[in-house]
Chains A and B, each alone.
Chain A
Amino acid sequence: MIDGFGISRRRLLGTAGMGAAALGLGTSLLPRTARAGDLTVGFIYVGPKDDYGYNQAHAEAAAVLKTMPGIKVVEEEKVPETDDVAKTMQSMIELDGATLLFPTSFGYFDPYMLKMAAKYPNVQFRHCGGMWNKAKHPMNTGSYFGYIGMGQYLNGIAAGHATKTKKIGFIAAKPIPQVLLNINSFALGAKLVDPSITTQVIFTGDWSMPVKEAEATNSLADQGIDVVTCHVDGPKVIVETAEHRGMFTCGYHANQSALAPKGYLTGAEWNWITVYKEFAAAAMAGKPLGNFVRGGLAEGFVKTSPFGPGVSDASRKQIDAVKAEIMKGGFAVIKGPLKDNKGNAVVAAGAAYPETAIELESMNYLVEGVIGSIS
């Protein structure tokens, strides 16, 4: 076929070689390092940065960071959790002169980010998640994460006030501890309003399954469930389908109120700019960056969406009161006595786990009042 087009292999190789040479020439003209005192920050996202979800929350913070003096931001989206991310990091460091990198997806950490961190000891890497371990990982790497469970707790209170059928729903991707904590927090928030409220959970099996998410929303609506929230990568389909079916929704990751002007109650959103500002300021001042940074609502790592029209005055009052409690710090949603939905006691009376508690990181149960199972 190549012969048919009159291109011989040698000619093809020659052209490719010339192309590569031209490319090399081009890149050598680019600035290799940024001006002294300035900071170039690299952001890497696993999905599209306008997904109304996890990636958008990071990208919104990056956009704010971009406006700060002396900071240059480079971004790349839809980078798979493969060797591709290592190449992206390398090019951000070599070509753009980035000295602070934020690979935001879970699977970037090991081995890709660790490999790059070993190769570039003068570049700082901060990974979104909780995997950094002082004993195992170099000091130019680190983890940051937010505790968003409290946001889902407040969502639950809003849902508890809004539901008429006393049945609310949660669409989740996979039963991992962080997701279970969100489900349990949502259910406990609703039970604070009325202990008879049940939370129906549906697992879709993966982080981005638009058709299954729509099917799940419809099944919930068919069962008379009238408030829904979720933990998937992009809540857009769920929020839109729920609005179409006349349900209330509580958002997650980012603000989805534009998608559901009638039914959007409130939402649990990330507020990453707090973290990014802190890291960038430290880097510009030449101070050491934190290696294990975490915070929740009280620390400004997480925020709630403005109230929608479906939130009653009583609901607003209760949410604001609980939020004020949370803002004082040390608030615990998961506290004893607490039973799981199979009737086993999971937290003893008197015990309380604030969001920083290590026990929450191995959560493997759904609390009483949640309909569903994790296997």
Chain B
Amino acid sequence: MDAAGTIIVAMIAGALRVSTPFLFVSLGECLTERAGRINLGNEGVLVLGAMVGYATSYHTGSPWVGVLAAAVAGALLGGLHGAICALARVNDVAMGIAIMLAGTGIAFFFGKPYVQPSAPHLPTLPLGFWSDVPQVRSALDVSPLFFLGLLAAFLLHWFFRATRVGLRVRIVGDSADAARALGLGIDRIRLLATACGSGLAGIGGAFLSLSYPGSWNEGLSSGQGLMAVALVVFARWNPLHCITAALIFGAAGALGPSLQTIGVSKGYYLFYAAPYVVTLIVLAITVRPGRALRGMPGELSIGR
């Protein structure tokens, strides 16, 4: 295969492999923020989900039970965030940082015995069966969680656009006054949105430990949860754009290693920074001073 082909296959493979945790966390964060709350704790939820998923898979022998357990653990931690933020004068950004530290701390503490053992992994769907190029076959070995993430994005989009509950979430997120006038339970809706959002982020964590890279250790997330929070801004709070954003991030992450294998080895630190540079450029282009971000829920504490 020629150099350009290699890079393209590697980037597609990277997009399919690396994007899933970004997708789940950004969808979860999207749901939470559309209800008017920020949850920086999703980094901690991601790490906790990875640990709980791995440990559960190890003990029960079923990776799917692990995914479920990760979602539940994520929802509990997210619920805690939601419940505390409902108290008067609690800053959700500061609380999110506390939740992030708590989540990683809990995961490191209870995850200690699971660094060494190997837990059963999630199966992959061999979608490359039609090709006899081994690179293509391996690139199209896609985790079912990826498709679950795509499904979740479309469902979430439909939920916001066409359902009564989705409309309520948006009202709560856009104007607390309007929500009060309609007699909606603001705190309850935000609590549920935060818990469900963190549940999704927990599934993203389970993907990290049970699918790719498929191992639990303490350096696993390396900030991916936080990046996904930024991706929501990048995606303009639109679940469908979250897919694009996650895929771009995944592909850009594959750029560094694959360029080195075809002999472009100078400046690999720059290639590794590519996803972040892209984010910076997009934000710089779309954000102008004195104007709220397009698509941003009106109740977000950073916008008020």
Determine how close the nearest CB of chain B comes to the CB of A68; give it in whole angstroms. Answer: 25
CA–CA, A202 and B265, complex, Å: 8
Q: Do B213 and A205 touch across chains, with their CB atoms under 8 A apart?
A: no
CA–CA, A50 and B219, complex, Å: 13
Q: Choose from A1, A48, A234 the contact partner of B90 (Cβ within 8 Å).
A: A1
**A375 at the binding interface (Cβ < 8 Å):** yes
Query: Residue on B with the closest CB to A167?
Result: B261
Q: What's the count of A-B pairs with C-beta under 8 Å?
A: 123
CA–CA, A4 and B89, complex, Å: 11
Residues of B within 8 A of A234 (CB): 217, 219
Q: Do B18 and A50 touch across chains, with their CB atoms under 8 A apart?
A: no
Q: Do B263 and A219 touch across chains, with their CB atoms under 8 A apart?
A: no
Determine how close the nearest CB of chain A comes to the CB of B215; give it in whole angstroms. Answer: 5
Binds A, one of B8-16, B32-40, B230-238, B281-289: B8-16
Q: Do B213 and A223 touch across chains, with their CB atoms under 8 A apart?
A: no
**A259 at the binding interface (Cβ < 8 Å):** yes
Q: Do A241 and B217 touch across chains, with their CB atoms under 8 A apart?
A: no
Do A222 and B218 form a contact, CB below 8 Å, given A1-B88, A375-B267?
A: no
Query: Residue on A with the closest CB to B265?
Result: A373
Query: Residue on B with the closest CB to A52?
Result: B116
Q: Choose from A1, A48, A202, A236 the contact partner of B257 (Cβ within 8 Å).
A: A202
Sorted nearest first, the 3 A-B pairs with minimum C-beta distance are: A214-B213, A208-B219, A373-B265
Determine how close the nearest CB of chain B comes to the CB of A358; give it in whole angstroms. Answer: 28
CA–CA, A212 and B269, complex, Å: 12
**B214 at the binding interface (Cβ < 8 Å):** yes
Residues of B within 8 A of A48 (CB): 112, 115, 217-218
Do A205 and B269 form a contact, CB below 8 Å, given A4-B88, A210-B220, A259-B118?
A: yes
- Count contacts on A: residues with CB < 8 A to the other chain: 42
Query: Residue on B with the closest CB to A341?
Result: B265
Q: Do B258 and A219 touch across chains, with their CB atoms under 8 A apart?
A: yes
CA–CA, A225 and B6, complex, Å: 14
**B244 at the binding interface (Cβ < 8 Å):** no
Q: Do B257 and A212 touch across chains, with their CB atoms under 8 A apart?
A: yes
Determine how close the nearest CB of chain B comes to the CB of A302; give it in whole angstroms. Answer: 22
CA–CA, A186 and B271, complex, Å: 26
**B224 at the binding interface (Cβ < 8 Å):** yes
Residues of B within 8 A of A236 (CB): 215, 217
Q: Do A237 and B213 touch across chains, with their CB atoms under 8 A apart?
A: yes
**B79 at the binding interface (Cβ < 8 Å):** no
Contact with A along B56-100 (1 / 0, CB 8 A): 000000000000000000000000000000011110000000000
Q: Do B258 and A78 touch across chains, with their CB atoms under 8 A apart?
A: no
Q: Do A202 and B108 touch across chains, with their CB atoms under 8 A apart?
A: no
Q: Do A215 and B18 touch across chains, with their CB atoms under 8 A apart?
A: yes
Residues of A within 8 A of B115 (CB): 48, 50-52
Which residues of B pack against A, CB within 8 Å?
6, 9-10, 13-14, 17-18, 87-90, 108, 112, 115-116, 118, 134-135, 138-139, 208, 212-215, 217-220, 222, 224, 253-254, 256-258, 260-263, 265-269, 272
**A156 at the binding interface (Cβ < 8 Å):** no
**A184 at the binding interface (Cβ < 8 Å):** no
Q: Choose from B9, B17, B268 the contact partner of A205 (Cβ within 8 Å).
A: B268
Do A210 and B213 form a contact, CB below 8 Å, given A218-B138, A220-B261, A222-B9?
A: yes
CA–CA, A210 and B219, complex, Å: 7
Residues of A within 8 A of B256 (CB): 205, 212, 215
Do A223 and B261 form a contact, CB below 8 Å, given A48-B217, A212-B256, A245-B138?
A: yes
Contact with B along A275-317 (1 / 0, CB 8 A): 0000000000000000000000000000000000000000000
Residues of A within 8 A of B268 (CB): 203, 205
Q: Do A209 and B222 touch across chains, with their CB atoms under 8 A apart?
A: yes
Do A210 and B14 form a contact, CB below 8 Å, given A237-B213, A371-B263?
A: no
Give 15 new A-B contacts, CB below 8 A, not counting A205-B272, A211-B224: A47-B218, A50-B115, A205-B256, A210-B220, A216-B260, A219-B258, A219-B261, A220-B261, A222-B134, A223-B262, A234-B219, A237-B217, A240-B118, A244-B214, A245-B138
Query: Residue on B with the closest CB to A375?
Result: B266
**A62 at the binding interface (Cβ < 8 Å):** no
Q: Do A202 and B261 touch across chains, with their CB atoms under 8 A apart?
A: yes
Residues of B within 8 A of A208 (CB): 217, 219, 222
Query: Residue on A with the closest CB to B220?
Result: A210
Q: Do B89 and A1 touch across chains, with their CB atoms under 8 A apart?
A: yes
Residues of A within 8 A of B138 (CB): 218, 221-222, 245
Residue of A52, A209, A210, A240 with highest tally of chain B CB at under 10 A: A210
Residues of B within 8 A of A240 (CB): 118, 213-215
Do A215 and B14 form a contact, CB below 8 Å, given A208-B219, A220-B261, A221-B138?
A: yes
